[in-house]
Structure 1
Amino acid sequence: MRLFFTLAFFAALSLAVGIMLSGDDQDVDWLVAGGLFGVALAGEGVRLWLRRGRARSRESSGI
């Protein structure tokens, strides 16, 4: 559920930045908005990957 809210927040934020950077065109700068959302997706993916890696390292006893 946290992932959904985080991605929804970054989607709205990316869309807002795309609208603000569009200027007088009254259109969304989709390249900027998509790039920012891509960075957010990559960051969340890395966060989940690191969390899963730490969980795996706790499972192994090391003996």
Structure 2
Amino acid sequence: MAKVLDGLLLLLCAAVCAGAAWMFFHASGQAAFTSMMAITILALVSQNIRLKRRLKELEK
């Protein structure tokens, strides 16, 4: 019974994620890829800054 429930919850989660993705692309249109690229670049820059700080801590 637990496997069936897990499968149903996984399908529900997939449907919610697919709906959210559709709404994002539908609402943003042509700007979708630009906004995703901007979010990705910001995440990479922030992670790079965090890792540089961590590296300086470990060098001491």
User: Shorter-normalised TM-score: what interval?
Assistant: 0.5 to 0.7
Structure with more relative contact order (C-alpha pairs < 8 Å, separation 6 or more): 1
Structure 2 gaps of 5+ residues are 1-19
Q: Which runs of 4+ in 1 moved over 2 A?
A: 15-18
User: How many aligned positions are there?
Assistant: 41
TM-score for both structures, normalised by structure 1: 0.51
| Aligned-pair Cα RMSD in Å | 2.1
TM-score for both structures, normalised by structure 2: 0.53
Structure 1 gaps of 5+ residues are 1-11, 22-28
- In terms of Rg, which structure is larger? 2
Greater helix fraction, Structure 1 or Structure 2: 2
